[in-house]
Chain A
């Protein structure tokens, strides 16, 4: 879908995705708030610029492939997929309900467009690496790329570093990984729970090309993905510095919002803040 939306339009799309997330979580009455909100800009960039996909043909054989590793953030993926046209937006409000295709954690077979089933942490990178290996070293297909989004908390998992070694060894340059570096996990701040720094140095030591960006700057996200595709001898990891709960001031930076949904009052407040860009515009409905 590359090139269809301008940068301001993509920024607006990120806000729309955030609004969707708030409505979905409020309706669901359970779920994770902070991570999905923090990832909204990355998912707007992925689904409306970076990924070469066809929402009307999810199994398109020429598509880029996207794996979500930290499955608990899936509300942001569902919202981006609905906005992109994979399914009707009304279905978003069925999140986590009995009979819904939008399971609490993503299940591949339930919803066309999902490439994997995830939730238990740490296994997305290796699946993406397996796909990239197939493209690059077995089928010699050079024009398709494999993207994966990981959380930073899940970097505690050994499986991630097994995959990091594997991708480095095999120079999987068609593999592009994003780390949502928001510094929180369930029990607190990542550097208190289990320090990850020197994060850049760790990935470099495993043979990766490392980029660090502001994960809320759409232009930076798109540029980083372009640079990653241009690197042909190593996999690339983009450490995207984000604010957990981004866009809703009373959720931002607070790890307590990791696994909590807003109640109706909080949702109303959150939506008002999102629609008015935190009070900077005075009436709702000013579109791009």
Chain B
């Protein structure tokens, strides 16, 4: 049974909204208070990525590198060799979008505890359009050996995730969204790297979400409940290492799985779940996300609606999937 403490205002008009990136800013400042070896590097986007809280508190440990993302992560790799724990931030489209090879060689293969913070990932980037709506970062980062990949579901979890990667001693990627999103967790909700959480128990289908999509899945589950479908909701903030046990247990219980992410489904979170299920517990699966397509300018709700990522659209997709697919899994 789920014992996850959800925000009690979650489905009311009073639900609190906060950008996920703001949680990162608070978490980094707190991590900096705890550990003097933490340094922060930014590529000319300090307030956008919310590093200004750290910069103002610890100016000596803040390094501005200018618009130079390759330098951003390689300088950080050198600082890690000198005993620092470097957090680097930019927009995800540029880091890891532009500097992926530097991350591969000098951070992942070199196995240094550099933290790559990709802000403005996904469609919640909104009006900036397709160039800035990074949708390929999950695939790019989860393919790297040694790399930890986390997409927090809300700002409270982003704060916890930031403090967790400050201590994990490993190369890590943290995916952040720009616009305000609903806060579904609370200060007492659990967060551990590598853990997935069942937020709502169900029997008919498992809805598995990462990042901002988990809130949409919770709302979709309410709609489905009104339609007689009892959906389980699983929040998977850590995409790598994937919590295989929680995912397999849920799939075994419900026999049908939907994944949702604000990213390319090819190679993304849905890809990770598909790989796991097809090898260990073949189960009917539908991946919701960007289907080999780029985004465009618009308000986030308009974009989520167009690409089928609102609670309503996801619920429709689930209804159709449930009506056409029997509950099934095959144990090896």
Contact = CB atoms under 8 A, between A and B. Distances in A.
B78 A67 contact: yes
A162 B82 CA distance: 20
Interface stretch (B58-66, B171-179, B290-298): B58-66
Contacts of B105: 117-120, 123
B111 A134 contact: no
B109 interface: yes
Interface string B41-85: 000000000000000000011010110101100111111111110
Contacts of A115: 81
A284 B40 CA distance: 57
B238 to A, nearest CB: 24
Interface in B15-63: 39, 60-61, 63
B78 A117 contact: no
Interface residues of B, number: 29
B109 A130 contact: no
B69 to A, nearest CB: 9
B7 interface: no
B84 A126 contact: no
Contacts of A163: 71, 74-75
B222 to A, nearest CB: 49
A46 interface: no
A139 B39 CA distance: 12
Interface string A93-136: 00000000000000111000001111110110011111111110
Contacts of A133: 63, 75, 78-79
Contacts of B80: 130
Contact of A165 (B68, B84, B101, B102): B68
A116 B79 contact: no
Given A126-B74, A130-B74, A120 B101 contact: yes
Interface string A156-167: 001100110110
B165 to A, nearest CB: 19
Contacts of B110: 107-109, 116-117
A interface bracket (residues with beta carbon within 8 Å of B): 20 to 34
A65 interface: yes
Interface string B110-131: 1100000000000000000000
Contacts of A123: 70, 74, 77, 102, 105-106
A134 B79 contact: yes
Contacts of A138: 39, 60-61, 84
Contacts of B78: 67, 116, 126-134
A85 to B, nearest CB: 22
Nearest to A124: B74
Contacts of A162: 65-66, 68, 70-71
Contacts of B106: 116-118, 123, 127
Contacts of B102: 120, 123, 159
A166 B60 contact: no
A137 interface: yes
| Complex A-B, nearest 9 residue pairs according to Cβ-Cβ distance, in ascending order | A130-B78, A127-B78, A162-B71, A134-B82, A126-B74, A130-B75, A162-B68, A117-B110, A130-B79
Interface of A: 65, 67, 107-109, 115-120, 122-123, 126-135, 137-139, 158-159, 162-163, 165-166
